[in-house]
Structure 1
Amino acid sequence: MESSDDDSGPSNGNQNSDENDSSSDSDINVGENSGDSFSSDTDSDDEGVGDTQSSLGTYSSETSDPEEEEFWSTNLTSVSIAAFEEETGPNHDLSPTDSVLQYFFLMISDDFFDLLAVETNRCADQVFARKGRRDPDWSPTNKREVQAYFGLHIFMGIHKLPSIDMYWSQNRFVGIPGFKDTMPRCRFQKLTQFLHMIMSNNEDHVPTGTSGHDRLFKIRPLIDLTRKNFQRFNRPGKCQSIDEGMIRYKGNYFAKQYTPCKPIKRGLKVWMRCEPNGYTHDYRIYLGKHDDMKGQTLGERVVKHLCKPLKWKGHHVFFERFFTSIPLLQNLENNGIYACGTIMSNRRGFPADLKNPSFTGRGDAEQRQHENLVATAWKDAKPVHIVSTTSDPLGDGPTYRRVPGGGHVLIQRPPAVAHYQENYYGVDRAMQYRAKCPVGRQSRKYWKYFMNFILEVSIVNAFLLWKTTSGVVIPRKHYSLCDFCVDVAELLIGDYRSKKKERYPLAGTVTAAGVASHHSVKLTDMPRRQCKWCSKQGRRRDVTYGCDKRLVHLCQGACFQAYHQNALLNTS
């Protein structure tokens, strides 16, 4: 059975020991007297995101202890919530007629592909220097080719085939002409082999186990770029939701999580803050016990880190019971952020008389209040417990529920429950969008799963930003995210065509019949064997390709040419 640094997912009632450990050097304060402290050890992550001050002012009252007697009152009154006056929505200079690729480049700058080309070439040079010889099938790449490579990478997520070779198959029912026209299969595989986005030599970075080591250094440029752009080009709306996202992964990586009650049971965890429509404003890759966010419980420090850009702006944040605690909501309110979330009834400070209320029927509710903090117990199919600083306790509204045998029944719903159910699903919707536009294929390198996740979120964000931009004309009636994804991939590839090498050898070999043309073909009637030329050079490479005349197994390209040139010299 696999172990996990965080076996307790959001639906698990008990937090693990990592969550309950406090850090003595932490500058997050969420204890009994949490006051106004709302900083963390990652302030530098949010540089350039924008000013976090507004006209909401500051709260002068100190946080009360929910364990004190007479903390909760049965006297329900209207809460005092500052009006939300921040500007929201798209914040860019693109026109509605600009291509969808330009909107994608708002999330991932086209200059980023320059970095990929430079670092990929550097990685190849380092590998060749370490081996003491160059790969005859490799030539340096450039920005234009890397863009085309990622266009094919996106198409592979949309059009899935069992193996990469099948995209270049000669079978007209399997092979895809667009892939064959863009670049050869061997070139695509070479780019995949050497692809890097930061210095590939691990010795150039702080060694593992020492202070300052970044376990995500291989994709750090992409993380920093996208986190900044997600917040820069779309200003967050009033309502935000925070939850976890999972990346399916079954390989060997220290941060892999096992959550048996989730649809993705084994994978990599990412904390996300999203709009209700699915737009991701911020995210944080979870590294388990190696995570550098400091504080008391895991849920509290995740919420605080992701809410830092929202301080003093009057946003309403929604999350589920894994994150929710009474001190967290008090601390958020003391920093100008209102919150609402389901809560486990055994959490410290939750009213004791609401843990097991006696309800007579569906729709019944009991509430307690302390200033703006409202605790609610509501009977749906099961009892629901919610704490909130976003809603009045008074003013129940109607909602419908299905009943056995068909039909619906009208029941009453408290405002806090209504607000939560209307706004909590932003991360879930982002994950649904991701499932519709997967990027890439499986890999043996863990960081490529993170890279594909970020590309998927970037495409979703670009699509939602494009749709919400005033004046945009939808190309056709049913233009979906998949259509947008296809258009982005096509524009990334554009008219790029890799220069295909000539078939070798088109030079001939001397036989009794004269000079005959030899070609490299797949020897389908013969088993996979060693390349004849590689074997002579003291290296081993098993291939299925070879000479159609001599029926000798040879690598395509340089080995095929060298073998026949040598044979020609020996027979002349």
Structure 2
Amino acid sequence: MDYREGSPKPKRQRKQLSSVLNDSEIEEALYSDNSEDDYQPDDEESASESESEEHLWNIECRPPTRPSVLPTVQEQDLQPFTLTVSDSQGQGQAQINQPSASGSTSEWTTTEEESEDPIFKVRSVIDYFNNKMIECYYPAAQLSLDESMVLWRGRLSFRQFIKNKRHKYGIKLYMLTEPDGLILKFRVYAGAKDTDVTGKEHAEKVVMELLREKLNSGHELYMDNYYNSFGLAKKLLDHNTYCTGTLRKDLKDNPHELMKKKIKKGENCSMFRDGVHVGVWKDKRVVTYITTQYEDKMVQVQNKRGHVTQKPEAISKYNDYMSGVDRQDQLLAYYPCERKTTLMYNKYSGQRKMSLYDYRLNVINARLPEHVPENRPSNTHSAHKIMKATETTSNGRLKRKTCRQCTKNKKRTDSPWYCGTCPDKPGLCVECFENYHLELN
């Protein structure tokens, strides 16, 4: 190799390998003592090299040894590896070993609490709500307890079916509420896996669980016949808590002579035992009720039509305070969280994409008339006023008149509505009221 003038020549020239060497020759070249090399470092260079070597790590380099037979994939996975690092003084040694995977039978496991609780993923949210309601709010005396349904039609081990609910399929919730619909505490029913309340006396366990913080305070609890029984009423009374509601006839502790007794409409019969009042009252059908608060007393109640009837006091109070969960379902129905797809109405819009607001505007515009006359005829029957009859017959029903407009069309219809402005006050249907006065004009 040629060097330019003025440039320093290297003090040492490395050997050039002119041929391909095998592993043994490379090892001999690397670890030879270089006795044939005439290179001699000066004093300054040897001193600097000795100082730098004190801080270097001694890394032992060996040529790779290739096995005659390559190991299989399984053998490679089972072979551990070891990494060893040591300094020049033999201190600070660290070793990392990869354990062998032979005989490994490990599986994914869960904690004992998660395996026993089927709703452990939402348990913290439920407990947080219940505890917050206990801390920040205390209800009035009247409480109602009933079940509610959360819509769910997917796969779920504890999905329930209740035919008289708005959402027949879903997750059943036991709720303790106030009569106005405020939820105080609730519990998710997880089926047979819910070991705290499942099994014998399931309804009684649910009631005592929801009332745990409200016992011994003089509350009045209203429940339906799914929960009520003589044993539960006696147990709540021992905890200074009253209960009222309907009762099933086929329970074991019911008074059998009272259940078999034949009574007439409007008649009420009652029996008492250990402070528990069980009664039978007949209106349109026989109603069996139980209470630990009210006596055998009849009260007057006015219905929606203004008729005054007599009912047992326990039944009257039950109708007033039992609708807490139903009221809660009604309030939630105004703000539904379920959303259906918009593709069903979009196919009628004639456009690829359209918002619901624009679709409604198009529907309204399509329903409006194209041309509205400027001089519209005066509404001559605007002074006419439709009224409803107030007189009743001997049976207590409203008096009805034959509709004049339906009679012209050869159809007989009796209606409680009439025109209070016309002199003869003709009977008219709500649908015929406008057409009748238009024909008169």
Higher helix share: 1
Structure number with larger C-alpha Rg? 2
Q: Normalization by structure 1: what TM-score?
A: 0.39
